[in-house]
A and B are shown apart, each in its own frame.
Chain A
Amino acid sequence: MTQIQAPAGQQPGRRRPTYTTPASPGSDPHGPHTGRAARALARVSGWWRGGGPVTVLFLLPMLLVFGLFSWWPIARTVVMAFQQTNLVEPAHWVGFANFHRVLSDPLLPTALRNTVVFAGLAFVIGYPIPLLLAIAMSDLRRARGLYAVLAYLPVVVPPAVAVLLWQFFYDASGDGVFNTVLGWFGIGPVPWLVSAHWVLPSLVMEATWAAAGGTVIIYLAALTSVPKELYDAAEVDGAGIWRKLFHITLPHLRAIMLVTLILQIIGTAQVFLEPYLFTDGGPDNASLTVLLLIYNYAFGSTTGGGDYGDATALSLLLALALALLSWIYFRLTRSWSDS
């Protein structure tokens, strides 16, 4: 349908062919439309014959599940944080009112403080234990498998069961399990869960027991990947056990130590189960955490619940903080697996 024309105003000696469609629409009834439609049709049929629908079919479970239960709720968090809803009437926009109310809630500083203290205690108590354990275990060659099983065992105990079991251990009377053991050494009784001072350390100890095994396994895997040649070379240079430990083993673990640290901070920032089941935030809000506060806004029985706007506003703030940490984690694992 195209013709070569000599463009007007050009010198005959320097003719350049130009491709144009006919000037008058009447000369060709099908016009340019069929061209475009045919091309689109060709593209669709190519996509069809190239397995496009089958690909979509394979992606469908993911699109549905992620769409409904991940992408949609994420989008909804952002929207609902600026809305007020009681689920009966349609939601209406309230601007930053939810954020104002949440940020001026006198319980928020308490919850933040408790979450930070929990994370800090988990760092002091829970962070070094798996590392030391894994380093010591890695050297015990034959028994390593058995030790790994023993260390991992608490990880498979359902968290609710673990908390309910430890509740017996933390019985504040002299006949409680821990207080009986401490009594043998003339210590205590310690008021564990009923004291505002002891409650967070108690929760951290249980959480450490429940989680340390997983971290031990991560460290053990990293320890076995230290190249043997490095140790052999150090040996030739006359390095002793401690120098090898401090100059080869630990530097090799540095990247993974950072990763487990950030994973732990992300995990402890979301602590919910322990304060919810052990003490429900008590005594006197001494174990109220940020996530427990969010839960109480939405589902709490004492406050009445139903404050979905407040709950999502605080969720959004927590999510932003955690996303920042996750992003750092992501960058670190990427550079760590590249190296």
Chain B
Amino acid sequence: MSENSFVSTTDLRRTGVRWARRILNVVILLLLVVVALGPLLWLAKSAVTPAQDTLRKPMAIWPNGPDWSILGDAWNGLHLGHYMVNTLIIAAGSWAVQMLVATTAGYALSVLRPSYGRFLYGAVLATMFVPTVVLLVPLYLTVLKLPLIHTSLVNTYWGAFLPAGASAFNVALMKRFFDNLPREILEAARVDGAGPVRLFTSIVLPMSRPVLGVVSVFALLAAWKDFIWPLIVLPDPEKQPISVRLPSLAPVTPIDTFLAALLISTALPIVFFLFFQRFFLRSEGLEGAVKG
């Protein structure tokens, strides 16, 4: 079996090449384990090591045995459960808003095609040129006092959910996917008397499971990773997600408890990734393709 690689099966018949490849294999594995995985392994080890051992001999593996109670201390003492729930609320809400905006907009622009659709799609794509971080200040002032209704979303979860929905990337991804749905099926449904709403809920959405999955996993992970926007929009510590809360806990928490807290807040996204790795690893290339 041959694959498209610059090293062919013929090349592999040479012993030198075979050996070089074996060595390369081991080197890359070691490199990845030490460099990519290493910091996380160190975190896992240190999260159950007493503070004195970590401070004195950071690279020693449990010189006085592991202490599993540290994990429980961190969970209970720092109220990690509370902040984790906050993070989950923000992730779920941002996901829902992103899905609602991206699917309805993608459907309207791709299937319903109003005459002004091109103009709107252009206005959406144009926002790709403006990085969101640059808009932090005006976005904050907008959320502080919404135009027309003059209410403030600061310290409300809506302030964290709603701006996440303004993702041109999501809309473009959905529209592109809907563009490629077989038109005959949509026409057939229309002839059978399905209205625009019915067409959306019973035909387009069920046919779009792959792209819904991709947008979902990236939306959830992005919400979990987000730091700067929740930091600005949720000044009340009781409402903050765990990643915003951690830096302020650092100076007032013993090092072993704090490392345990870091491990706990990383564990969920890592498990999530390992579970849905196919979505992440196959679709990262989409990012370039969708903008063409």
Contacts and interface: CB of A to CB of B under 8 A. Distances in A.
Contacts of A299: 232
B131 A235 contact: no
A68 B162 contact: yes
Contact of B101 (A65, A154, A232, A322): A65
A2 interface: no
A74 B130 contact: yes
Contacts of B24: 136, 139-140
A91 to B, nearest CB: 10
A209 B57 CA distance: 24
A72 interface: yes
Contacts, number: 305
Given A58-B196, A58-B200, A59-B104, A217 B262 contact: no
A198 to B, nearest CB: 18
B143 to A, nearest CB: 8
Q: Taking chain B's interface residues, is the majority helix, strand, or loop, or is none over half, making it mixed?
A: helix
A147 B232 CA distance: 37
A231 B141 CA distance: 56
Interface string B230-247: 001000000000111011
Interface in B155-188: 162-163, 165-166, 168, 171
A180 B59 contact: yes
Interface string A61-78: 111011011111110110
Interface stretch (A3-11, A47-55, A99-107, A117-125): A47-55
A337 interface: yes
Nearest to B145: A87
Interface of B: 2-8, 10-11, 17, 21, 24-25, 28-29, 31-33, 35-37, 39-40, 42-43, 46, 55-59, 97, 100-101, 104-105, 107-109, 112, 114, 120, 123-124, 127-131, 133-144, 146-147, 162-163, 165-166, 168, 171, 195-197, 200, 221, 224-225, 227-228, 232, 242-244, 246-247, 250, 255, 258-259, 262, 265-266, 269-270, 272-274, 277, 280-282, 284-285, 287-289, 291-292
Interface of A: 51-52, 54-56, 58-63, 65-66, 68-74, 76-77, 80, 87, 133, 136-141, 143, 145, 147-154, 156-162, 164-169, 171, 175-177, 180-181, 209, 213-214, 217-218, 221-222, 224, 226-228, 231-232, 235, 240-241, 244-245, 248-249, 256, 259, 266, 270, 272-273, 276-277, 291, 294-295, 298-299, 308, 311-312, 315, 318-319, 322-323, 326-327, 329-330, 333-334, 336-338
9 closest A-B pairs by CB: A337-B292, A221-B285, A62-B105, A228-B4, A73-B138, A58-B108, A217-B284, A244-B6, A70-B166
